[in-house]
Structure 1
């Protein structure tokens, strides 16, 4: 299905084209199934530039319409991705429908997802069938003792797990998801948030384990302190510290060094972001009907006696 697509046009996975091609993040996934101690999701935020924030949320059909408008304004967009503001697979129906719609309407577009990995594995065969070629999994530790310090809770279905129990579940699911992705020949990038005093001593273990699982790229990201989070007072790692970590981790996996910590509604080239410019269009698309007339759900109403 995707053999004609030039995957070298993905600017996040290929730094050489970051000034030639761009990406659009489609904010169709508001719910999340874990609580990271550094994350504060916002659904109507225009002032912050970081993962987990968007100015609005779209339905799959709104996202399809928005994609068309984006390409009219910026034809250099080569990638359509879903990166929140929650987790794509805490919103699996919306995520998969959006990917299918984009694939059908824009067959040359590279499809990309970013997930925490908790609920990813069961959907990998369908992602491969749709033609999703690039998936990012955030793995902040491979030792449950460290992982437990990074997350407040992990929700599997309706059950919430905390501490070591939640950490062990998350890590097992992440490993299984990455194994499944590679089994289906999907390119895998690992995002690892470097948190001083929490996991900064542990990054090489993450890199080595991810290499063994077959990951293709590692993106070590400096934690950005966010207000109203557990880690709001943890300082951001210095550029020197991050450079040292990346240089050391490179013995295991190629490093992404051009990440811009994109919003969940980011659009444009990495070096020429147009998120602010497209915000009005995004808002207008969010006000459109969530379903086309052909797909609008109908509800039957009746009484016990069959008379209204």
Structure 2
């Protein structure tokens, strides 16, 4: 296959082809390919407990083995412990091809994230390195992520209008100062868009997560999908609200409403329709997590 035949993305108005190594990352990444989710797995390393924003739908105060949602982990690992875990996972579960850091806080606000990426990438350069982020620190982190082989990035982007964003975020802490209200939403949005643009320019695959919050951003989600498509994002994931914290009284969208939203967004960008809302310590195929087996075995040895 010639370079001209590879799928392309638009960067600053020009078409940029993906090379075979990039296409392999899509073919083996269960979040980016619905086919891959039946064959390949991921290993989330919970090394990032600190967060630099407070979302009105997010609470991370407890863990339950039956709890499957972002921000939940049984324990926080050190970079060294994470490397040991990766060694074990690739030995016992060779179908795991993706190493991701998705919390339980904000990965880019924790120095252990970068040390973990370095250690794992140096020993396992063929594994797909993945980050999930709120995007606040993405612009200043992009070169280091690129250096450690991160080729897939998920950005949670819930609004491209600060008037809506200020309803979703309680505060944003940036460069040592905490911001609230419209100013917080403006800073976060500016950084998110800049970071997405920089990631696409480096030919990283960008997935956008948008939490579907009825009465807050539901009339706005299609606009988000259209915007990120124009920026070159690869895929878009509509995530129904889990009612908790300040949004505990909001009724989440029904499966029918979620599908209708996905269908509306699909006019602009490829939809991820198989999201399992993974824990920060998830290991295995989507919907077939094995981390409890690993930790239970540790306790009995």
Structures share fold, TM-score greater than 0.5: yes
Residues 95 and 180 of structure 1: CA distance in aligned 2, closer, same or farther (over 3 Å): same
Match of 1:255 in 2: 271
Q: How many residues align?
A: 280
Match of 1:119 in 2: 137
Match of 2:147 among 129, 132, 137: 129
Cα offset for 1:283? Answer: 7.4
Q: Which runs of 5+ in 2 are unaligned?
A: 1-18
Residues 281 and 186 of structure 1: CA distance in aligned 2, closer, same or farther (over 3 Å): farther
Q: Classify the secondary structure of the residue corresponding to 1:10.
A: coil
Aligned counterparts, 1:28-39, within 5 A: 28-39=47-58
Residues 129 and 281 of structure 1: CA distance in aligned 2, closer, same or farther (over 3 Å): farther
Q: Which moved more, 1:36-45 or 1:101-110?
A: 36-45
Match of 1:78 in 2: 97
| Alignment deviations for residues 259-283 of structure 1 (CA, whole Å, 9 cap, x no partner) | 0000000000014221322233677
Match of 1:63 in 2: 82
Match of 1:25 in 2: 44
| Alignment deviations for residues 217-259 of structure 1 (CA, whole Å, 9 cap, x no partner) | 0001101113xx0001111110010000000001111000000
Q: What is the distance in 2 between the residues matched to 1:119 and 1:283?
A: 37
Q: What is the distance in 2 between the residues matched to 1:57 and 1:217?
A: 29
Q: What is the distance in 2 between the residues matched to 1:218 and 1:67?
A: 28
Residues 281 and 159 of structure 1: CA distance in aligned 2, closer, same or farther (over 3 Å): farther
Residues 157 and 108 of structure 1: CA distance in aligned 2, closer, same or farther (over 3 Å): same
If the length of structure 1 is used for normalisation, what is the TM-score? 0.87
Match of 2:160 in 1: 142
Q: Does 1:242 align with 2:258?
A: yes
Match of 2:249 among 233, 239, 242: 233
Do the aligned residues in 1 keep the contact of 2:159 with 2:221 (CA within 8 Å)?
A: yes
Q: Which has the larger radius of gyration?
A: 1
Q: Does 1:103 align with 2:121?
A: yes
Match of 2:230 in 1: 212
For the aligned residue pairs, the C-alpha RMSD in angstroms reads 1.7
Do the aligned residues in 2 keep the contact of 1:30 with 1:43 (CA within 8 Å)?
A: no
Q: What is the distance in 1 between the residues matched to 2:42 and 2:272?
A: 16
Q: Which runs of 5+ in 1 are unaligned?
A: 285-308
